[in-house]
Structure 1
Amino acid sequence: MQLKKLFAEQVESVNEYEREPVPKSEVKGFKSFVGMVSGEHIAGTEFVIGPLFVLHGAAAMDVFWGLLIGNLLATLSWVLFCAPAAVKTRTTIFYQLERISGKGIVTLYNSVNGLLFCVTASAMIGVSASAVGIMLDIKGPGLNDLYPTSPLWVGIIFAIGAVITVVATFGFDKVSKFANIFAPWMPIIFFSAGVAMLPQLGVTSISDFFTVAEEKIWTGVPIDGQTKYTFWHIMIFAWLCNSAMHLGLSDMSIYRYAKKASYGIASAFGMFIGHFMAWLASGILCAVALQMGESNPSPGQIAFMGAGYAGLLCVVIAGWTTANPTIYRSGLAVQGLFPKLKRWKITLIVGCVTTVLACSPAFVSKLDQFLGVYALCAAPIGSIVLADIFIFPKIGLISNYAEKKKSWLNYSVLLSWGLSILGSYLFYKGFDLDFYFFAAIPGWLLGFITYIITAKLIQSKADDKDVELENLSVNELN
């Protein structure tokens, strides 16, 4: 009972400024963001995504160039769009959108976002569980499995989910410190594991690497039942797998604490260590597993094969450091739906939902598809908010329209969001694409353009109506 009281007192004292700008006294230094993004993007899911390029038959040079260019574009998206918007407003995307769109739209957006964050975090928990399962000699699901393998594995999921949820309830500061503790050594494990396995593929010198890479790792030939990934698949995926965070501005929740907008460059640590080096390393490990006859390896098996128990521990911690900020964001999203409830209580509920979802391995095996759908839904909202913050003041339109007009629903936001999602889907279907991410950028641009046009029309009509009412009032007085 005493422990429960102490926990409640601690979390009650945390102020996350959910419905107000972060004060200058609470901004963080650059180091906080390096640790946060490194911990989040050097994740247990790298042991899922890296092998996908191998299984989908990507060619070696397509992988290298695709990851290089795609991760550069992702970094620039944080630097040029997300961080400037966050520092200018000092608010979360959820509160800023409410000011722009009204309670009606933000209720729908927060519901979708909260659920999507839960699903993303559940995949991280599942990856961590696969490593713990190997430590305890409990067989977990492979990369292609859709259902739990045993009650014991489900028990592991609940134990990991409990740890992650408790950390997330303490807010940004504790999540950031947790990441800073573990972020420095995780890249070493990924790199060492990949290098250690190269001799088993026939690499005895640096000059052998590219030959072996083309012949035994990224061969250009997909395994049975998988579509083929090209340079464009790799580049677009590397750029847009986190598009909800950067172009969609969900990471305003993180960068609103940044002292300067230039701190968005911290994302490069996550992109080029986690989404470049770690994806290459896990791809190498997957190729070794396939060569050894393991057709459906789990993330834990891949890590254990390359780095033993250190690799398993890396998977566990990497899952935690990614799920922590994800559940934190989800709690902020859902808190927008229930502003009278404490954020920490909502975060606990969100953590429980996430843990239940993590019991289904489908969220790990279909992670690339899920992230693609997520990008189509979330990215257009980012372009709408960017236009409202930076473009509207320059062209004479009213920013934060719903807040200033005390409107429950801003129809220009609703029309723009709906049209952009529909346009993205039609683009995806019309060109017979096999990758949802290909439609994310057209949807983002469509949201940006249609919002400016519809806002111009609606605000002009509203102004005309206000003038008519004002003239009518003057005539009545006369």
Structure 2
Amino acid sequence: MSRRTPDEVDRRIAGMDSEQLPVGKHELHGAGHFAGLYAAENVAGTEFVFGATFVILGAGIWDVIIGLAVGNLLAVLTYRFITAPIATRTRMSVYTFLDRAAGRTTSALYNGLNAVVFAVISAAMITVSATALRLIFDFPAQTEAYPTSVGFIVLAIVFGSVAVLVAAFGFNALAEFASICGPWLMVMFAAGGIVLVPKAADEALGTTVLSGWGDFITIGGDTVFTGRTPDGAEGIGLLGVIGYAWAANSFAHAGLIDMSLLRYAKKSWYGYLSATGMFLGHYMAWVSAGFMGAATAAITMQSITVLEPGQVALQALGYAGFAVVIVGGWTTANANLYRAGLAGQGVFPRFSRAKVTLLIGGLVVIAAVFPFIYRGYLNLVTYAGIALVPIGGILFAEYWLLPRLGMTRYWARYKGVQNVPALLAWGIPLALAAVLLIAGLAPAYYLFPPVWLLSTVLYVLLARMMGAAERYPDGEADDELFAERVDVFHTQQAREAHTDVDTRDRRALTRVLKVVWIVDLAVIAAAALVVLLASSDITAYEAHRDRFFVVAAVGTVIYFLAAYGELRRRTAHTRRSLARRDGSSPAGSRPAD
């Protein structure tokens, strides 16, 4: 491997896509950014599916209370001690790091699998949103694994096509809109569960009034998380709940996909901030959705196994529930379609992201008409974790273990060979996991930790045998020079980025709009608490519930008007501030009021 000159490296850096470069210091974000990001990402339409799934799997009330706490804590610790340290030290996305460490073949396979995983998630979320639209258009319920209504098929195709087009060509606008959905979704999920507790209490205790925590546990154990499946079989138990909760995001934390987010973190301890998503979304929202699903099953006299998210949201939140399902499903689908397009572009680099997104989107739209995809969502993401976490183990070994064991990081690239140990350390654990699953020797939710560990150990052993124990001074010198020139490049970018400009919007109307949406959410939450605490009997409950439905619907409209208005004003103010710094005026800007 011949050494390059600084000029050659500079030309190489100038010709690289920004995604291929480490993140610069001027691009880093503070703690609040990641707290909000994880909260918004993990409180979405999927939570209706997860909450109902734990009821269907027969989890007991204490299994859920303790198991979700332990499983989500393990997920947070994995983000903190596995994902975040590698992300903040390399400042690379997982795709770039994998390409450097394992080479083109492994990267292409990984990108292709990621594209499939994100496409499936997108399809499931389009179907979730379509369940709310189905009720609006009065199409038949989809209780089978396959579609049974031509109207629903048309609805899913049209809705899915719109989602694909937005992801392909209008993602920035949607991402801006999605950024304000998190606080509203969190309040609505909590409110929906609260509103249906008195109804569940009436079913379990014969009264709508709860005398304390003990009554809540009784209601949860008797009517929601009973410890038995709807067929009467024994449920998954405490370890099963822990396993599912830890595995639900395993491809993001143990599989290191969230390196792409956490590379922008100033400190590795920001990995702890994933707790906003794990405990607000994967704890509070799952428990609340379980209550909503069980209560809706009792109200509608249907089995929870065939209930749709739209039906659940309507019973819990009224017409505002339609917005929760549609917005939560749509924003999640679009974000994952965008990711699928990026991953697919890694497999087909000659095509633009938009074109790849459209191609994958066509398959997503077809898949979205099949309800079995969203009904099996918990198992699907668990299998995705098993398939992707070996790459996390391989990269963990590459970054941390090889240097500590006297071996060379990036050895395959330095040696100019295909990284066969990476392929074997990925394929062998997957093959063993498949055997265990097919033979019924282990449930899926137990498999990702041993698969990750086995891939890590295998990679270290195989890499030592195939060249990692050797030294490659020319290659290491080239990487050191590359890192130095990237720092120079980032210094120049920072000078041009105007990070010294104060872009905070302190104008009165912007502040008023923020107060409006905060107060609005508080009013919605208070209306839900009135239903819980002031319903002395079923008649009072129904009156308070109907009043809450009106408050939730009107409050939703007010929230989005105020929150989006504030966002647009802050964004415009930032553009004007930067333009003034440049001595120019942005097109269409107006003087600040």
TM norm. shorter chain > 0.5: yes
Structure 2 residue aligned with 1:421, among 419, 430, 441?
Answer: 430
Equivalents in 1 of 2:116, 2:468: separation in Å? 36
- Map 1:339-418 → 2, pairs under 5 A: 339-407=349-417, 409-418=418-427
Structure 2 residue aligned with 1:453, among 439, 449, 461?
Answer: 461
Q: Is 2:445 the partner of 1:437?
A: yes
Q: How far does residue 37 in structure 1 lie from its aligned partner after superposition?
A: 2.1
Q: How many residues align?
A: 447
Aligned-residue sequence identity (percent) comes to 36
Aligned-pair RMSD on alpha carbons?
Answer: 2.5
Give the match's secondary structure for 1:270.
Answer: helix
* Higher-RCO chain (CA-CA 8 Å, sequence separation at least 6): 1
Q: How far does residue 430 in structure 1 lie from its aligned partner after superposition?
A: 7.0
Q: How far does residue 334 in structure 1 lie from its aligned partner after superposition?
A: 1.2
Q: 1:59 to 1:393 in 2, by over 3 A?
A: same
Q: 1:328 to 1:58 in 2, by over 3 A?
A: same
Q: 1:308 to 1:16 in 2, by over 3 A?
A: farther
Equivalents in 2 of 1:258, 1:161: separation in Å? 33
8 Å contact kept, 2:406–2:469: no
Deviation per CA, 1:71-124: give whole Å up to 9, x if none: 111111112111222222222222221211111222222212211211112111
| Greater mean deviation of Cα atoms: 355-364 or 22-31 | 22-31
Structure 2 length normalisation: TM-score?
A: 0.71
Q: Is 2:214 the partner of 1:204?
A: no
Q: How far does residue 130 in structure 1 lie from its aligned partner after superposition?
A: 0.8
| Greater mean deviation of Cα atoms: 211-220 or 287-296 | 287-296
- Map 1:263-302 → 2, pairs under 5 A: 263-292=270-299, 293-295=301-303, 296-302=306-312
Q: Is 2:337 the partner of 1:332?
A: no
Instruction: Please name the residue that 2:331 is paired with.
Output: 321
Structure 2 residue aligned with 1:250, among 254, 257, 263?
Answer: 257
Instruction: Please name the residue that 1:150 is paired with.
Output: 149
- Map 1:114-133 → 2, pairs under 5 A: 114-133=115-134
Amino acid at match of 1:214: G
Deviation per CA, 1:438-470: give whole Å up to 9, x if none: 111111000111111111111168779xxxxxx
Equivalents in 2 of 1:23, 1:369: separation in Å? 38
Q: 1:179 to 1:34 in 2, by over 3 A?
A: farther
Q: 5+ unaligned residues in a row in structure 2: which ranges? A: 1-15, 202-207, 473-593
Amino acid at match of 1:294: Q
8 Å contact kept, 1:127–1:319: yes
Q: How far does residue 22 in structure 1 lie from its aligned partner after superposition?
A: 2.9
- Map 1:102-181 → 2, pairs under 5 A: 102-142=103-143, 145-169=144-168, 177-181=176-180
Equivalents in 1 of 2:71, 2:425: separation in Å? 27
Equivalents in 1 of 2:270, 2:133: separation in Å? 35
- Map 1:206-245 → 2, pairs under 5 A: 206-207=212-213, 208-224=215-231, 228-245=235-252
8 Å contact kept, 2:22–2:90: yes
Q: 5+ unaligned residues in a row in structure 1: which ranges? A: 1-14, 465-478
8 Å contact kept, 1:40–1:318: no
Deviation per CA, 1:228-277: give whole Å up to 9, x if none: 21111111101111101110011222222333323222321111111111
Q: 1:266 to 1:352 in 2, by over 3 A?
A: farther
Q: 1:17 to 1:136 in 2, by over 3 A?
A: farther
8 Å contact kept, 1:303–1:315: yes
8 Å contact kept, 1:172–1:328: yes
Q: How far does residue 170 in structure 1 lie from its aligned partner after superposition?
A: 6.5
8 Å contact kept, 1:97–1:385: yes
Give the match's secondary structure for 2:19.
Answer: coil
Q: 1:115 to 1:305 in 2, by over 3 A?
A: same
Q: 1:103 to 1:236 in 2, by over 3 A?
A: same
Structure 1 length normalisation: TM-score?
A: 0.87
Q: Is 2:26 the partner of 1:25?
A: yes
Q: Is 2:317 the partner of 1:310?
A: no
Q: How far does residue 426 in structure 1 lie from its aligned partner after superposition?
A: 4.5
Equivalents in 2 of 1:225, 1:101: separation in Å? 48
Amino acid at match of 1:421: L
